[in-house]
Chain A
Amino acid sequence: MSKSEEKTDVYNIENASGEEEHGLSAYVPERYRKPGEIGFAIIATVFGVLGYYFALGMTSDSYSAPSVFPKLASVIIIACGVICIFKACRKDAPEPGSPNVFRYLFPRDVIVILLMLLAYCVLLPKLHFIVSSYLFMAGGMVYLHRGKYIWQSMLISAGAMVVLVAIFRYVFLVILP
């Protein structure tokens, strides 16, 4: 499948929602389930279950105990999660030809940027802010330009870094990581 077809697929799936056409004021339930929608609702429900489980370890001897709100919030999350799972199950299966869960969540650009963010997080404590941020910015721009305009990307990144460091470090006195 070509890249443009891949993008069109992703858009079709997103626009299967009635929200795009009717606006957010009038919610119209979607007809087709998005790939991984049930899984996401299950994860959110499990989050609520874990929230309740860990709240059991908190003091809960009175109505004003620290555990009251965590427990209440967890129960609401679980209830909403169950409704979301139920609603997702009632929808039609994802449209034929729609991408699998992984490809739906992570188109190539997203996965590359996420990997770059991961590398940035690893490099930040070691190379510190200026070097790691420059590498991320320049790398990101070069990648998003599909390998074109390398020098321009490096220059824009350098210029942006100079401006950011000057403003934050010397005007707002922010200590950079």
Chain B
Amino acid sequence: MLQNIQYFLTPFLDWQMILLVWAGVFAGIWVGAIPGLSGTMAVSLLISFTFSWELNSALALMCGVFVGAVYGGAITAILLNIPGAPAAIATGMEGYPLAQRGEAGKAIGLCTTVSLFAGMVGVAVLACAAPIIANFALKFSPRDFFLLALMGILLIGSIGGGDPVKGVMAGTIGILISMVGMDPSTGELRYTFGNINLMAGISFVTAMIGLFGISEALTQFRGGNDNPPKQNLDKIIPNLKTFLKYLPLAIRSSMLGVFIGALPGTGGDVAALLAYDQAKRTTRNPEVPFGQGAYEGIVAPETANKGAIGGAFIPMLTLGIPGDAITAIIIGGLFIHGLKPGPMLMIETPHLFWMIVGLLIIANVALFILGLLSVKPFAKIIEIPKSVIMPIVIILSVIGTYAIQNSVADIFYMIGFGVIGYFMRLYGYATGPMVLGIILGPMLDANYRRTMQAAEDQIVPFLTGFVTSPLSLMLCIFIFFMIFSQTKTYKKWRKIS
């Protein structure tokens, strides 16, 4: 025990590690804020960059970038309605209307404060219950991942806004677009039309940048005044009363984030969307309706994606299975530094586990301080006239898209998605569900087919599996509740009770 405390305190007593975490968080915030540049890309760059460093310093920098990048995605989502990362899509839906009302500072301040809380919840769960959660996460079969993806798809009702039929249509078009490319299980080409550029599929980040970034720019060019809203930056840190008001939601969402983050293959994006949905369903009488700048709609996704950071480390450190793309790269980094990530990692190198716990705590504190310090400069971005900022945003979108896989074709796709997104906005088809469809389509398709193959392509065994497995049955009940909670009967009952 004492030995573990000593390992845990190592990063707190090493000024070089503290400095590297802070530098990582700072860089991560900016990387995360730029659409197209992701934490995954930054951490993978760091692998080669820190190749000759000692392990502790390399891990310090990587943990800092990871935490900073997840937070950074919310900044451009709130200020420009262009999420820096898919995990910030829901944040932008509520944050942008707030920014338009001059409350960007307050929104980012609340986002930063709850991020610290959720980050700490994630770390606490990682430190206290990692092996239990990891073993539970391993019980998830392809059928359960299929159900999880289905739950994600049902969020269309939450993030679509407007006409639900249009939301479903946009989401399904997203699923169809996600089918483009080589089928990962059979190698069959789907919707590629002989075009070599389509064989790798269409990156959801390309689609996201186009559907949010370019379409937002085009919508802004439709007219209106060029004078941006003046931002009120007097009270950016929420007071204790405000914090306590959102605390129950923050606890729920961060725990959801930790759990979703711990599931291999799912990360902060799914967690944030699920948390946003549950906030929307469970919040009674929000001060501002959802879709118009509800603070609950910022608290839920932001606490979920920060909780997912701690969650992603759980299977990585206890089983050697990455919780998300960034932890997959960190595993690669550990191999490079001569370690063997796997079930024995925690037993053979307990110092690594406790050091990462310590590093994440430092990173979350750094995030809180650096986040609050950067609220004012960030909020100034929104005060730049759109005639100046929008051409820069378009070029930024171009670089971000090209950076994904160095493909000029991706730039054309991104612009194409932008124009489609612009038309969709004009006719009341929300762009969020389409991105959701592109993100969850492959997960839905692959896990459905795995489940069906496990049932030997027989319908009856396939269906009975959903009720005979306790985990699947529980998820089915959740899905049933998600659908039922949208009915008039349920809404009427909630109003009465």
Residues of A at the B interface (CB closer than 8 Å) are: 6-7, 10-11, 14, 17, 19, 23-27, 29-30, 34, 36-37, 40-41, 44, 47-48, 51, 54-55, 58-59, 62-64, 66, 68-70, 73-74, 76-77, 80-81, 83-84, 87, 104-105, 107, 109-110, 113-114, 117, 121, 124-125, 129, 133, 136-137, 140-141, 144-145, 153, 156-157, 160, 164, 168, 172-177
Contacts and interface: CB of A to CB of B under 8 A. Distances in A.
Contacts, number: 196
Contact of B292 (A24, A84, A110): A24
A109 B221 contact: yes
A17 to B, nearest CB: 6
Contacts of B45: 172-173
B223 to A, nearest CB: 4
A113 B221 contact: yes
Contacts of A77: 169, 172-173, 176
A80 B166 contact: yes
Main secondary structure of the interface of B (DSSP, over half): helix
B222 A140 contact: no
Contacts of A63: 452, 457, 459, 462
A141 B426 contact: no
Contacts of B452: 62-64
Contact of A164 (B188, B221, B399): B399
Nearest to A157: B391
Interface of B: 31, 37, 41-42, 45, 161-166, 168-169, 172-173, 175-176, 179, 183, 185-186, 188, 190-191, 217-218, 221-224, 226, 280, 289-292, 386-388, 390-392, 394-396, 398-399, 402-403, 406, 408, 411-412, 415, 419, 422-423, 426-429, 441, 444-445, 448-450, 452-453, 457, 459, 462
B289 A23 contact: yes
A14 B161 CA distance: 15
A25 B427 CA distance: 18
B290 A145 contact: no
A124 to B, nearest CB: 7
11 contacts: A7-B223, A19-B161, A40-B427, A44-B169, A63-B462, A64-B453, A74-B176, A84-B163, A107-B221, A137-B391, A140-B394
B401 to A, nearest CB: 10
B289 to A, nearest CB: 4
Interface centre among A73, A83, A133, by most chain B C-beta atoms within 10 angstroms, is A73
B387 to A, nearest CB: 3
A160 B398 CA distance: 14
Given A156-B388, A172-B45, A113 B402 contact: no
B82 to A, nearest CB: 16
A69 B457 contact: no
Contacts of B191: 51, 54, 70
Among B45, B217, B449: residue with most chain A CB under 10 A: B449
B390 A66 contact: no
Contacts of A58: 188, 190
Nearest to A22: B289
Contact of B423 (A11, A40, A66): A40
A117 B222 contact: no
A70 B459 CA distance: 19
Nearest to A168: B399
Contacts of A137: 391-392, 395
Given A11-B223, A137-B392, 4 more contacts: A47-B173, A63-B462, A68-B445, A168-B403
